[in-house]
Structures are given as C-alpha cells and as structure tokens.
Structure 1
Amino acid sequence: MSNFIFETTPRVICADGESERLGDLVREFGISRPLLVTDRGIVDTGLLEPILASFRAAGLEVTVFADVLADPPTSCVEAAVALAVASRADGVIGFGGGSSLDVAKLVALLSRSGASLDAVYGVGLAVGPRWPLIQVPTTAGTGSEVTPIAIVTTPSGEKQGVVSRLLYPDVAVLDATLTVGLLPRVTAMTGIDAMVHAIEAYTSRHRKNVVSDTLAMRALRLLSDNIGTVIENGADLTARRAMLQGSMLAGMAFANAPVGAVHALAYPLGGQFHVPHGLSNALMLLPVLEFNLTEADALYRELSDAVRAGERTWHRTASGRAFVDAMATIVGELGLERTLGELGVIEADLPGLAIDAMKGQRLLVNNCRDVNYDQALALYREAL
C-alpha cells in the first residue's frame, strides 16, 4: 500500500442551489452549444426548468437529449452521440442518475474523437480528445461524477465497461436540493449502491491505498449515519447533502481501488432480469460479505467502526462478524426485496447467472477471495 497513484475529478462544487447557476459555470469552460444528457423522468419532475433557464440567461444554445434509459443500451449512447454531432455541441452536461452521467461521459468522448463505442470497451483503450464535461448527479449512489467508468448494456444483454482517465469529468456539481424529491425506494437502492462501493473499495485486492481507504471509511460513515433519515424524511436537506457527499467519496475510493464480487454478481441480474443496479447490489451484498469473511475479517473489523457496529466495544475487540451483522440490519431496514425469488428468479436461472458472472473477471480479480463458477452459483443460491 506504500506506493500508489490516485486520480479523481479535478474540481468539485458542493452547494445547495448551485445547479441553478449552471449556465455561468458552462460559460467558464468556453462552451457555447452544450448538450445536456438526461432522462424522461427528470424532465417530468420539472428539475430541468431552472437549469435551462440559467442556460438561456447565459446566452447558451442548449440541446437536450432526454432519452437515457436505465442500464443504457448501446443504441442509447449512439443516438446521443449522433445528436451531439448534429447539434455541433462543444460541451456536455450529464444531469441525472448514474445512467445519464455514464452516457454523458461517452458522448463527450465519442462525439469529438470520432471513435466507435465498440473500440473503447475495456480498460485504457479510449483515446482523446473529448469535449468539456460537467456532471450533476440527482441521486446519491453511483458516484459516477468522480469516476472514469461508464457501463453500457450490449444487444446481448451483457454489461460492458469503458474505463479511461479521459472519462473523468472536468467538474462535478453536488446540489442536495436536486435529491429532495427522490422516492424512498430509489433513495434506498442508490444509497446501498454507494455503501457497496465504499466496502468493496476498502477490501479491494488491487490498488487499495491510504487515500482510497480514508475516503471509503468516511463515505461509509456518512452513508450509514444518514440513509435511514433520508428514507424516512426525504426533505431533510442536511441528510441529503451527507448522502451526496458520501456517494461522491465512495466513488473516488472505488475509482482507484476497484470493486469486486458484489458488483460482478450484480451485473448479470441487471442484464438478464433488468433488476435495478442498487437493488441487485443489495441482494448480493450479504452473501458475498459472508463468503469473504474468512479473508476480510481484519478489514471488516476496521469497517465496523464506520457503521457503529463497535460503538459499545473497544475498537480492537470489534469483530468482522459485527460488521456483517450491522450491514444485515441496515439492508433489512431499507424496505427492499430480500431475495431473488421475489423478483421472479428461479433455481433454473442460476447457472446462467453464474456463467455471466464469471465473465466479469475485470471485477472478480479485485475481490479479496477468489470466486469460481461453483462458488458464484452457491452465492446466487444463497440469495434466492
């Protein structure tokens, strides 16, 4: 852990109401024809109106792509790139959840470099230049505003990732007022996603370092302290702000110390059964924590302080088991489905899920314990 490289988004602005001044920020980057990437749900909430008004006030000619879908398919990315080219966009703003932010990253890259999406799947294969990129999350979960990763669903239903330092945005804007209207279910799913990012970064086999550890620990404390509050009272702006900050810190952590088996097993659930990413993480978290306990006991013992599992125990005697039990309590209080069976998954589906999970070696190699096909199958069976 003594030698490491740490990278992240170079500028973060955290201020309530900052999104309504987005037009001025866009002008700072010399952008005159921004493409704003979002989804229909955001449009329907009315969240976009103050942002568009700020663009108009700044004299900007904005084009909106509002057709982002959850787990964005390649066709969605290609359509957004085509619109960026046709509108002669010279900058991109991602506005929404993780899917919108991921699509915005790829649009900023592909609409300027001219590369095809197929050519950049993988790690470090993307080449520049790209247009200026500003990311504005409206959920507290993915941390995509500070990561160099974009996930796309191929026509076969497989999740493919583009990982490149070119995908780090120029600036991330955290405006807690944008998250106040999130439904409790969405709040829960995105919140647990961020917690998994923190946990897997802290226990990652590769590139774990003192900076990622510090960020992951602080992220987990912010998230675990506030997730119950924001589910019960979505209008609590202090708690919403803490969740956004926790999500961002977890994103910074896992962008440098990458995630492992929870995500590797979660992605096939999204690809095959269209389970929302945060929910699939929630379903696979506890089986994987139990599986990893033999290898990660010491790290879990340290994390137990972040979720207050060792609150009544001197930290040296807190246990990895206490952390797993604390996370089981947190997941149980989210009000989400607890088993794959509740989502229509049956025993006969599990081998196919395990086969797809084993394709995610980019993630599995980071897990603190090796996972083979039989173990992946057993983990899905435990979650059934």
Structure 2
Amino acid sequence: MQAPFSFDGPAALLVAWGGAARLGALMAAWFSQRNLLIVTDRFLHEAGLLEPAKTSLATEGFVVTVFDAVVADPPEAVLLQAVEQARAQGCDIVLGLGGGSSMDIAKLVAVLLHNDQPLKDMYGIGNIRGHRAPLVQVPTTAGTGSEVTNITILTTGEKTKMGIVAPQLYADRVLLDGALTLGLPPVQTAATGIDAMVHAIEAFTSRHRKNPLSDLFAKEALRLMAAHLVTACTDGSSRPAREAMLLGAALAGKAFSNSPVAAVHALAYPLGGHFHLPHGLTNALMLGPVLRFNMKAAAPLYAELADVVGAPGSGGVTDRAGAFVAFMEDLMDRSGAPRRLRDCGVPEESLPLLAHDAMLQTRLLVNNPVEVTEADALTLYREAF
C-alpha cells in the first residue's frame, strides 16, 4: 500500500538549445515586471556568456542590472550585497544565470527583495515567511540541479555551511539551454556530472520521503548521465551529450528536492568548508566509500540501479549491487575527475576534524540508509584519502 506523499517543483521548465539568445521574448511573455537583476559570477560576465541574453532582454524593454560577485560556497555577505544592489536599482524580478552558487543566491535575493525577515530566521526547513519576487533560473553547468530545487546553501561562518529549504525557493520558470554548457572544462564537467549522479543515487536510496515520482526522476537522470558523462568530458562540443547531462542534472534535482540527499553530501560539506573544494568534486570524492558503506542496507536498490545504468554482469541482488558500485567507480575513473582526497590538497591530519564536522549535518545524515557515527565518518574519509 502506497503511503501518502507530495511532489513539488518549479512552476515550468523549458528545454531549448540556444534559448538564452531569445530570453527577452520568453520572459516578456512570462512576466510583466521589467526591472531585472541578473545574478552571476565575474568569470561568466567577463567571458561574455551573458551578452546574448542581455541583448535579447534589452530588445524587449528590460532594464538589466548585473550582480557578478558570486563566488563558490557563497557567504552571507555576498547575498546581502546582492540584495542591497537590487533594492538600490529598484529591481522587481530576478534571474539566476550560472552555476549552483549563482542560482542559490538568486533564490534568496528574490525572497529578500521585499521581505524584512532576518536571514538568520530562515535557516532550516520551512522557515521563510511571505512571498518573493518573480524568479527565473538558467544553469550553465550540468550538476547542482539548483535550478529546480527549493534549497539554498550558504557559508555561515569561517568553515561552516547551512541550508535553507522552503517552497518559496522554487523558481517560477527554468530554462535549460545546453549551448551554455559548451565551454565547461572537462574536469568541471566531470565533477558537476558526478554531483548530479550523486543526487539521483541518494534520492533513490533516501530513508525519508522516497516516493514513486522521485524514483522515476532519479532513474531517468542516472540513465541519461551514465550514458553521456564520459562523452561530455572527452568531447565537450557534443550537443547530444551536453543536452543529456543538463536534462539529467535537472531531473536529479527534482528527485532530491523531494527525496533528500544523505551521507555523501554530509561528508562533502566539510571538505568544501575547510578546503574550498568545489561542491561537485567533494561529492565525487566521497561517493565510492559511502556506496560501499551503505551496501548492507541499500543493496536491493543498488541492484535496481545496476540495470538502469547498464552495469555488466548478472546474478542475484548482492552481485548486481556490487556491479553498480563497480560501474560508478569505473565511470568516475574514466571521467577524469580527481579520485583521492590527498590529490586535492587535503592533509591526513585533518580527517578527524572533518569527521567531527560531518556530524553537524544532521539534516542530511538522518536520510542515509545506514546510521553514520563519527567513527564511521572518519573511516570513510580515510578510505577516500
């Protein structure tokens, strides 16, 4: 018998190669507001990636302000700076254009634009009050799934991250334009792609809120990305690979925003906080050890995923689960992503501190199919080292 469940997401999603070049016409049809803040990072801005969209928007009468000070693992100060600029310019609509950090900041700018609720009161699940300004998300990487999720992660201290989860963070519209990902370097393509696969795997094996719809999205996301990740890394100009990865990342985002992620993310966050490693890379580094650790509870689910990704071999549940883990390890090796903590500048003496900090991620650890103690976390970091 099916337990009650809900499934939420952004209001609308458009998949259109080259869609950013006609973003003005699209947004003019979607919204009446015309004073737009684009939230992005300096690299994308200076590289000219915004120009087709800006030209299209200006043609349709949008007044465009660009906030390009977003950095990886953005601190609260960056968000507040963006809100101040948006208010000063009288912005009434927000567009996140970039990677996960830019889209995360865009979500909260849209909330805070006309909202005097203190940011500190928003952390946690369901704590945002009131409404937000219209919000559009356009990703330039195929990884975080932030464009379709109701989650924002901010750096709240020198080394710590905290999440805000609320329905107001879902976008009104999402544009998936695979052409925007053509310039993504191979290592970043690999790390963000594996990040998205982690989202799908953890959504499919989550102990809480796993449901038939999240399973469908997770499986299709994995199928697409398993088939196209290596091509996207080795032939970055492949339109089919880029489109498949971008769609797969969005589907995985829809899955994990409804069936939440777990220990891979819990162990990844301290690596980002202490060593400023990209979020996608930290997930990739921790995936193998956590998959093996979770095998005792998740083997039947891993066996299902082995068939989804086309892992070779046959046999019973244990054999197929092992085949899935081996497939993922081999895929990560072939993608070219760094595979060991030691290769990313993480010193061995930091592992106990990382294990301690991972235990603070209770929002995530509760979803893991197997309980994780601090001793377990240390063992997992040592395995990844």
Give the structure-1-normalised TM-score: 0.97
> Residue 152 of structure 2: SS of its match in structure 1?
strand
Counterpart amino acid of residue 302 in structure 1: E
CA apart distance, 1:317:
8.3
Q: Match of 1:350?
A: 351
Q: Once the two structures are superposed, what CA deviation does each residue of 1:248-272 show, in whole Å capped at 9, x if it has no partner?
A: 1000000000000000000000000
After TM superposition, the structure 1 = structure 2 runs for residues 124-203 of structure 1, keeping only pairs within 5 Å, are 124-203=126-205
- Measured in 2, the distance between the counterparts of 1:54 and 1:236 equals 25
CA apart distance, 1:318:
5.5
1:200, 1:260 within 8 Å by CA — same for their partners in 2? yes
1:270 and 2:272 are equivalent in the alignment: yes
- Let me know the Cα RMSD of the aligned residues: 1.3
Q: How many residues align?
A: 383
Counterpart amino acid of residue 220 in structure 1: L
2:21, 2:56 within 8 Å by CA — same for their partners in 1? yes
Q: Once the two structures are superposed, what CA deviation does each residue of 1:319-378 show, in whole Å capped at 9, x if it has no partner?
A: 111111111101111212221111222222111101110000000000000001110111
Q: Match of 1:303?
A: 305
Counterpart amino acid of residue 178 in structure 1: L
1:304, 1:318 within 8 Å by CA — same for their partners in 2? no
Q: Match of 1:337?
A: 338
1:145, 1:172 within 8 Å by CA — same for their partners in 2? yes
> Residue 137 of structure 2: SS of its match in structure 1?
strand
Choose the corresponding residue for 2:86, options 73, 78, 84: 84
Q: Once the two structures are superposed, what CA deviation does each residue of 1:97-145 show, in whole Å capped at 9, x if it has no partner?
A: 0000000001000112122221211110011220000000000001111
- Measured in 2, the distance between the counterparts of 1:316 and 1:352 equals 36
Counterpart amino acid of residue 329 in structure 2: A
2:299, 2:317 within 8 Å by CA — same for their partners in 1? no
- Measured in 1, the distance between the counterparts of 2:319 and 2:174 equals 36
Of residues 195-204 and 315-324 in structure 1, the stretch that sits farther from structure 2 once superposed is: 315-324
Q: Percent identity?
A: 52
CA apart distance, 1:307:
1.7
Q: Match of 2:258?
A: 256
After TM superposition, the structure 1 = structure 2 runs for residues 1-384 of structure 1, keeping only pairs within 5 Å, are 1-27=2-28, 28-310=30-312, 312-313=313-314, 319-384=320-385
2:300, 2:317 within 8 Å by CA — same for their partners in 1? no
Counterpart amino acid of residue 169 in structure 1: A
2:35, 2:63 within 8 Å by CA — same for their partners in 1? yes
Counterpart amino acid of residue 344 in structure 1: G
1:192, 1:282 within 8 Å by CA — same for their partners in 2? yes
1:102, 1:144 within 8 Å by CA — same for their partners in 2? yes
- Measured in 2, the distance between the counterparts of 1:8 and 1:217 equals 17
> Residue 319 of structure 1: SS of its match in structure 2?
helix
Counterpart amino acid of residue 120 in structure 1: M
- Measured in 2, the distance between the counterparts of 1:323 and 1:129 equals 43
- Measured in 1, the distance between the counterparts of 2:316 and 2:129 equals 47
- Measured in 2, the distance between the counterparts of 1:343 and 1:174 equals 31
Counterpart amino acid of residue 376 in structure 1: A
Of residues 356-365 and 2-11 in structure 1, the stretch that sits farther from structure 2 once superposed is: 2-11
> Residue 68 of structure 1: SS of its match in structure 2?
coil
- Measured in 2, the distance between the counterparts of 1:324 and 1:316 equals 12
- Measured in 2, the distance between the counterparts of 1:63 and 1:114 equals 22
- Measured in 1, the distance between the counterparts of 2:348 and 2:243 equals 41
1:305, 1:315 within 8 Å by CA — same for their partners in 2? no
1:81, 1:107 within 8 Å by CA — same for their partners in 2? yes
Find runs of 4+ consecutive structure 1 residues off by over 3 angstroms.
312-318
- Measured in 2, the distance between the counterparts of 1:90 and 1:111 equals 8
- Measured in 2, the distance between the counterparts of 1:8 and 1:34 equals 23
CA apart distance, 1:2:
3.2
CA apart distance, 1:316:
6.9
> Residue 183 of structure 2: SS of its match in structure 1?
coil
CA apart distance, 1:169:
0.2
- Measured in 2, the distance between the counterparts of 1:313 and 1:380 equals 31
1:121, 1:162 within 8 Å by CA — same for their partners in 2? yes
- Measured in 2, the distance between the counterparts of 1:145 and 1:188 equals 19
Gapped runs of 5+ residues in structure 2? none
Counterpart amino acid of residue 138 in structure 2: V
Gapped runs of 5+ residues in structure 1? none
